[in-house]
């Protein structure tokens, strides 16, 4: 059932062009600049007038939530708070009937996420779900929701579910923008046309596998690794670090690149690999200076760059190219090389990739 792949995780990484395509199907009409989300249609008016959205989730799904925060705030211009479900539920959170609380959960069964939603519901908020498993507990208690349609995810490390969650959040951001008029029709057409191309760009991104495998061979014995990015590539850095930790048991940290000089820079020595997401988008120049700072201290820089990049190529020890795309869609592409990196390092270290020690696919106890 692994379809010829050595592990489910690898199969699921490769499925992402298809899973994102399935997630978009019937939901975008690029020529008309229109997003259609049947699951939340009843709440279109509520979304038009919303003052605040709260996202609750755990683990990788929480990282997707952070990407969602950037997207919804940027395009829909609605303030978003992203909370660890486990913290939110025990904090006597301030929730009103005006709020929409969105739970993100691949399994739809995570105990803390479920409990956070129940509290939000009790306090009168409208509750939405972004889940993968159809008919799971979370989709059963929510008022509305959008399924990710990534198909069953067997590997404990979440891969295609993450990119599908980010895809749904992208759709929600543009849906809100459409309801609130925060993007012009011509901008919406432009964005949705590009979004429609993402599955094809994902296919091209998947071709980085061999390159990433070489890099993994070089760094497989490192005991630490730092992942840095800015803007919506910051949650991508967090996700890269979590993947590496959970399946290869290498200590890894993800940070916003600018936070490096507030502490983690002290870790940099000639042993430490530092993975940068340094694509050609709005924070490019800033990331370039962060790369210089790491180099000056002897760190090994691995950079994910946009195809054709020359500036970072001259500075970094290793580069991995991904196709050019708009800022909005960078997380969908930039995550893929990080998934491969964690995968290959784990395999090379002899770890059980699909079922890492101490971890369960769905965490149904708190
Ligand atoms: O099923 P969920 O999305 O609610 O699960 C949340 C986390 O347990 C999950 O994302 C976990 O962090 C993964 N193992 C990450 O790869």
pLDDT above 90 (res 364) = no
Give the rounded percent of residues in the chain with a pLDDT score beyond 70.
Answer: 100
* Structural contact between residues 9 and 159, judged by C-beta atoms closer than 8 angstroms: yes
- Using one digit for the tens of pLDDT, what is the confidence trace for 266-282? 899 889 999 999 999 98
Confidence of residue 201 (pLDDT cuts 50, 70, 90): very high
Rounded to 10 deg, the angle between the 233-248 and 59-71 helix axes is 170
> What separation, in Å, do the N-terminal and C-terminal C-alpha atoms of the chain show?
31
By mean pLDDT, which of 11-15, 146-150, 278-282 is the weakest? 278-282
Query: Rounded mean pLDDT of 101-126?
Result: 97
Compute how many other C-beta atoms are within 10 angstroms of the C-beta atom of residue 210: 8
Report the pocket of ligand 1 as residue ranges, CB < 6 Å. 58-61, 105-107, 110, 113, 156-158, 242, 246, 359, 362-363
In ligand 1, the atom with minimum distance to the C-alpha of 57 is: 4
Q: Where are the alpha helices (DSSP H) in 265-329?
A: 284-296, 311-315
> For the segment 253-266, what is each residue's pLDDT rounded down to a tens digit?
999 999 999 998 98
Q: Is the pLDDT of residue 115 over 90?
A: yes
Closest atom, ligand 1, to C-alpha of 158: 16
Q: Which pTM was predicted?
A: 0.98
Pick the residue whose CA is nearest to atom 7 on ligand 1.
59
Instruction: For ligand 1, atom 12, name the residue with the nearest CA.
Output: 59
pLDDT for the residue 366? 86
| Mean pLDDT score, 30-49 | 96
Could you read off the pLDDT of 73-106 as tens digits, one per residue?
A: 999 999 999 999 999 999 999 999 999 999 999 9
Tell me the CA–centroid distance for residue 362 and ligand 1, in Å. Answer: 7
pLDDT at residue 1 greater than cutoff 90: no
Give rounded-to-5 percent helix, strand, coil for the chain.
50, 15, 30
The preferred substitution site among 12, 55, 57, 61 for testing ligand 1, maximizing ligand atoms within 8 Å of CB, is 61
Which two structure tokens, joined as six digits, stand for 140?
């059963």
CA 235 – ligand 1 centroid, Å? 15
Q: What is the pLDDT of residues 303-346, one digit of tens each?
A: 999 999 999 999 999 999 999 999 999 999 999 999 999 999 99
| pLDDT tier, 362 (very low <50, low <70, confident <90, very high otherwise) | confident
| Mean pLDDT on 142-171 | 97
- The answer to whether 220 is a known catalytic residue is no
**CA 46–ligand 1 middle distance (angstroms):** 29
């Amino acid at each position: 059932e692994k379809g010829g792949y050595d592990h489910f995780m690898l199969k699921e990484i490769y499925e992402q062009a298809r899973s994102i395509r399935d997630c978009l199907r019937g939901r975008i009409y690029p020529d008309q600049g229109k997003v259609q989300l049947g699951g939340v249609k009843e709440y279109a008016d509520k979304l038009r007038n919303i003052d605040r959205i709260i996202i609750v989730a755990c683990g990788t799904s929480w990282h997707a939530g952070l990407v969602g925060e950037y997207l919804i705030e940027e395009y829909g211009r609605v303030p978003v708070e992203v909370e660890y479900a486990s913290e939110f539920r025990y904090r006597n959170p301030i929730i009103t009937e005006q709020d929409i609380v969105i739970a993100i959960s691949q399994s739809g069964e995570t105990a803390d996420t479920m409990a956070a939603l129940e509290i939000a519901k009790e306090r009168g908020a409208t509750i939405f779900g972004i889940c993968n498993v159809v008919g799971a507990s979370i989709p059963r208690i929510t008022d509305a929701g959008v399924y990710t349609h990534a198909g069953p995810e067997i590997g404990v490390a979440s891969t295609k579910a993450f990119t599908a969650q980010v895809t749904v959040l992208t759709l929600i951001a543009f849906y809100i923008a459409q309801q609130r008029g925060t993007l012009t029709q011509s901008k919406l057409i432009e964005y949705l046309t590009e979004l429609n191309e993402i599955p094809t760009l994902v296919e091209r991104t998947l071709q980085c596998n061999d390159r990433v495998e070489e890099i993994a061979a070089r760094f497989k014995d490192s005991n630490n690794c730092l992942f840095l990015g800015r803007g919506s590539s910051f949650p991508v850095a967090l996700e890269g670090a979590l993947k590496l930790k959970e399946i290869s048991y290498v200590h890894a940290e993800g940070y916003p690149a600018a936070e490096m000089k507030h502490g983690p820079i002290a870790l940099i020595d000639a042993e430490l690999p530092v993975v940068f997401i340094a694509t050609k988008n709005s924070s490019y120049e800033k990331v370039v200076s962060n790369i210089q700072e790491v180099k000056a201290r002897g760190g090994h820089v691995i950079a994910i760059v946009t195809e054709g990049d020359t500036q970072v190529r001259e500075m970094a020890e290793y580069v991995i190219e991904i196709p050019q795309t708009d800022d909005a869609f960078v997380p969908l592409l930039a995550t893929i090389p990080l998934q491969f990196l964690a995968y290959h390092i784990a395999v090379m270290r002899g770890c059980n990739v699909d079922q890492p020690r101490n971890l369960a696919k769905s965490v149904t106890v708190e």
